[in-house]
Structure 1
Amino acid sequence: MKKVIGLTGGIASGKSTVVDFLISLGYQVIDADKVVRELQAPQGRLYEAILKHFGSDFIDETGQLNRAKLGALVFENREQREKLSLLQDEIIRKELYHRRDQFLGRENADVNAERDFRENTDEKPREIADVNSVSNFSGSKIYRKLPSVNQLLFMDIPLLLEYGYDGFDEIWLVTVTEEIQLERLMARNHFTKEEAKKRIDAQMPLAQKRKFADRILDNSGSLEMLKKQIEEALLAVNREK
């Protein structure tokens, strides 16, 4: 039976590293950020919607959407951030669900693009699988026990929980310590500490996201440790099918 796994985390938590490893194993990953960039390209549905609601000031001299300028606006202005979020949500949601349904082989699936954001922080936490133990694997034998690449679809959605995306068999969360998250974001984006903290604070805290996760991948250690956690999670999925 095919399964769809939602993959999320915080900014600079290392989700892209997890995605790269999953792809190297042959698994299909829908990257929400890439889908958004496609929709934001000239003549794309998001491009046209943003142009209509925010004006041509956010289009550069080449006719492309000025994402940096738009991003700066929404991070500094909560009202504008909420306006953009509502504007984009239905278009992005429908496209992501359409691609998911293609993988599942559904025809004429009824996509509800008006689902409520998940804001109930009092929801009882799910039981979180322990995938943080590091085991010794015997070479390539492990890969014969992993789920078939045709049976799993990963959907990499940074704001999966904030926007209440659903329809997943499991949710995997990539976490790091707050200190590492801050350091990585400052180094990667050349932000000041204040700028980096502002970006982090704009998202749901990782500690809160843990309540909704079925499996936790701790990316505070080495790359090898992270890969072994991913392998353990995949093995667990195969055992539970």
Structure 2
Amino acid sequence: MVKIIGLTGGIASGKSTVVAELRRLGYQVIDADQVVHELQAKGGKLYEALVGWLGTEILDADSNLDRSLLSQLIFSSPENLKKSSQLQDQIIRQELAERRDKMAEQLPVFFMDIPLLIEADYVDWFDQIWLVTVDPEVQKERLMKRNGYSAEEADKRLASQMPLSEKKAMADVIIDNNGSLGQTMLQVHEVLINLN
């Protein structure tokens, strides 16, 4: 029986660190952000859909998506935001489902790293959901340090996301990343032992 595990967290929660450790231990991880990046690359399904909708003015001199212009257009009106969300979600969901099904034919256990797993309603895809969590003040501090944000910018980013405290109710496994790297890795290893 195949076990598919969904991995999620919040900005600066340490999810990437957990993913790196899973990969180091030999587990396969489908990275949703990477998939989106591939779909938005020249000739990708999202690239074609976005150009089809907004026209070639969203491209830069090298015919790649101009991300800052695209972002401005999408966030310029509630209608554009809604349309963009529907268009992109459908293509991303389809691609992730294809990759998930293909991997399920080959592996007994694998992970899918989806930042908006709960918000975008992927919950029923998984046998288990792992949540990497940190306290809000630690999250803010790490975000400011990592991205060079001011306190105000960090607060804005964090406010735009579902709080980690609310996500806990949906998680089967909670990895507390408030402590040292070693403490976090120990939790990951313990959960993996119980997985088999």
Same fold per TM (> 0.5)?
yes
Among 98, 105, 117, the alignment partner of 1:160 is 117
> How far apart are residue 194 of structure 1 and its match?
2.1
The answer for the alignment partner of 1:31 in structure 2 is 31
Residues of 2 paired with 1:18 and 1:76: CA distance? 35
- Which SS does the other structure have where 2:61 is aligned? coil
**Structure 1: runs of 5 or more not aligned:** 107-149
> How far apart are residue 77 of structure 1 and its match?
6.0
> How far apart are residue 58 of structure 1 and its match?
3.0
> How far apart are residue 78 of structure 1 and its match?
5.5
The alignment-based identity, stated in percent, is: 55
State the Cα deviation string for residues 182-225 of structure 1 (Å, max 9, x = none).
12222222222222222222221111111100000111111100
Among 168, 185, 199, the alignment partner of 2:157 is 199
The answer for the alignment partner of 1:227 in structure 2 is 185
State the Cα deviation string for residues 7-37 of structure 1 (Å, max 9, x = none).
0011111111000000000000000000000
Q: Which moved more, 1:73-82 or 1:179-188?
A: 73-82
Say whether the 8 Å CA contact 1:75–1:199 is kept in structure 2. no
Residues of 1 paired with 2:146 and 2:58: CA distance? 24
The answer for the alignment partner of 2:90 in structure 1 is 90
- Which SS does the other structure have where 2:149 is aligned? coil
Note the aligned Cα RMSD (angstroms): 2.0
The answer for the alignment partner of 1:217 in structure 2 is 175
Letter of the structure 2 residue corresponding to residue 237 of structure 1: L
Residues of 1 paired with 2:66 and 2:19: CA distance? 26
> How far apart are residue 67 of structure 1 and its match?
2.6
Q: Which moved more, 1:176-185 or 1:10-19?
A: 176-185
Number of corresponding residues: 195
> How far apart are residue 75 of structure 1 and its match?
6.3
Structure 2 length normalisation: TM-score?
0.91
The answer for the alignment partner of 2:66 in structure 1 is 66
The answer for the alignment partner of 1:141 in structure 2 is none
Residues of 2 paired with 1:18 and 1:71: CA distance? 29
Residues of 2 paired with 1:79 and 1:232: CA distance? 46
Residues of 2 paired with 1:73 and 1:197: CA distance? 24
**Structure 2: runs of 5 or more not aligned:** none
Q: Which moved more, 1:204-213 or 1:57-66?
A: 57-66
- Note closer, same or farther for the CA distance 1:45–1:77 as it changes in structure 2 (3 Å cut): same
Residues of 2 paired with 1:10 and 1:73: CA distance? 25
Give the 5 Å matches for 1:37-116.
37-71=37-71, 80-105=80-105
Letter of the structure 2 residue corresponding to residue 93 of structure 1: R
Say whether the 8 Å CA contact 1:6–1:172 is kept in structure 2. yes
- Note closer, same or farther for the CA distance 1:171–1:228 as it changes in structure 2 (3 Å cut): same
> How far apart are residue 237 of structure 1 and its match?
1.4
> How far apart are residue 105 of structure 1 and its match?
2.0
1:174 aligns with 2:174: no
Say whether the 8 Å CA contact 1:75–1:202 is kept in structure 2. no
